[in-house]
Amino acid sequence: MNEILDKARLAMRNARRVAVLTGAGISAESGVPTYRGSGGLWSGFSSADLASPEGFARDPHKVWDWHNDRRMSLAQVKPNAGHLALAQLEQQLQARGATWTLATQNVDGLHQAAGSTNVLELHGTILAIRCNGCGLGRRVGFEPIAELPHCSCGGLMRPDIVWFGEMLPQTVWRAAVRSCQECDVMLTVGTSAQVYPAASLIEVAAENGAATIEVNLEPTAASGLVTYALHGKAGTILPQLV
Ligand code: OAD
């Protein structure tokens, strides 16, 4: 592990263009549950009911109740050492003229809270809502939301999160793909690499010859593909890459 860590650190030190993909595991040490595995959100709740357009159409009250509970718990959490290390790496790389693009599947806003500036939110954000009818969006942060919020057009508002079966925001997605096509180092952190198209970013970077570094508690669907697999807690490993 130490030898792999040294090699990953060297790759990061020499990198000119870095692409990063994060998932729920980076926020786990802040107390935010991941989605899969024991204790994961989708082992206790139905993603078809709570995170799909069909589920929202069937029972918007249920979807909003659940999201409001999540919003309330996320309002309490703080970035951890992993988020802070990524923000520090961004600063270091930019200071020496390298580029850094961080794409996250998380909707919790913790990268920005840690000071990361160039963040692509592939799956949207729980800090915003948008109209299910006209599409008009609004940032609401963690302010309380009416039980069933409505838009001025009369449409129902929904969390501005990408649900199962939906397209990713295309401008954000294209920017993430471009960063993986152009990078010389790609770092993935805390993702099971099971959800597409986000997971395909790792393949894009690998196909383009980038060195790929995975930081995850356990081996993932992408481990066989990556150059350096570092298994352990993001909050312990990432500060060692700074
Ligand atoms: P998952 O829950 O699928 O995977 C989280 C990964 O983080 C697992 O592989 C864990 O082993 C790892 N992990 C847990 N704690 C960790 C720690 N302290 N340090 C490092 N790794 C740790 O979450 P995602 O891959 O992010 O989509 O899931 C992708 C998408 O599926 C989510 O964005 C969400 C979900 O359905 C939407 O809500 C649209």
Question: Atom 9 in ligand 1: which residue has the minimum CA distance?
Answer: 192
Give the phi and the psi of residue 155 in degrees, each rounded to 5.
-70, 165
Question: pLDDT, tens digit, for every residue of 168-212?
Answer: 999 999 999 999 999 999 999 999 999 999 999 999 999 999 999
Question: Atom 13 in ligand 1: which residue has the minimum CA distance?
Answer: 25
Question: pLDDT, tens digit, for every residue of 8-47?
Answer: 999 999 999 999 999 999 999 999 999 998 889 999 899 9
Q: Which two tokens stand for residue 175?
A: 């920017």
Measured from CB, residues less than 6 Å from any atom of ligand 1 are 23-25, 28-29, 34-36, 40, 47, 51, 105, 123, 162, 190-192, 194-195, 216-218, 220, 233-234
Question: Atom 23 in ligand 1: which residue has the minimum CA distance?
Answer: 24
Q: What percent of the chain has pLDDT over 70?
A: 100
Q: Rounded to an integer, what is the distance from CA 207 to the centroid of its chain? A: 22
Q: Rounded to an integer, what is the distance from CA 205 to the centroid of its chain? A: 17
User: What pLDDT band is residue 223 in, cutting at 50, 70 and 90?
Assistant: very high
Whether 132 contacts 157, CB under 8 Å: yes
Helix (H) or strand (E) holding 183: none
Q: Chain-wide mean pLDDT for the chain?
A: 96
Question: Which of 195, 226, 240, 241 best tests ligand 1's pocket when mutated (most atoms within 8 Å of CB)?
Answer: 195
User: What pLDDT band is residue 214 in, cutting at 50, 70 and 90?
Assistant: very high
CA distance 205 to 22: 14
Question: pLDDT, tens digit, for every residue of 48-59?
Answer: 999 999 999 999
User: What pLDDT band is residue 144 in, cutting at 50, 70 and 90?
Assistant: confident
82 has a pLDDT exceeding 80? yes
pLDDT computed for residue 143 by the predictor: 86
User: What pLDDT band is residue 1 in, cutting at 50, 70 and 90?
Assistant: low
- Ligand 1 centroid distance, CA of 96 (Å): 31
Domains and CATH numbers, the chain: 2-32+79-123+168-241 (3.40.50.1220), 47-73+130-161 (3.30.1600.10)
Whether 181 contacts 202, CB under 8 Å: no
Contacts made by residues 131-134, CB under 8 angstroms, sequence distance 24+: 131/155, 131/156, 131/157, 131/158, 132/56, 132/156, 132/157, 132/158
112 has a pLDDT exceeding 80? yes
CA distance 106 to 97: 27
Q: Region 202-229: what's the mean pLDDT?
A: 97
Q: Which two tokens stand for residue 50?
A: 């709570």
CA distance 240 to 99: 20
Q: Region 66-92: what's the mean pLDDT?
A: 97
Q: Measuring CA to CA, which residue among 153, 192, 148 is closest to residue 42?
A: 192
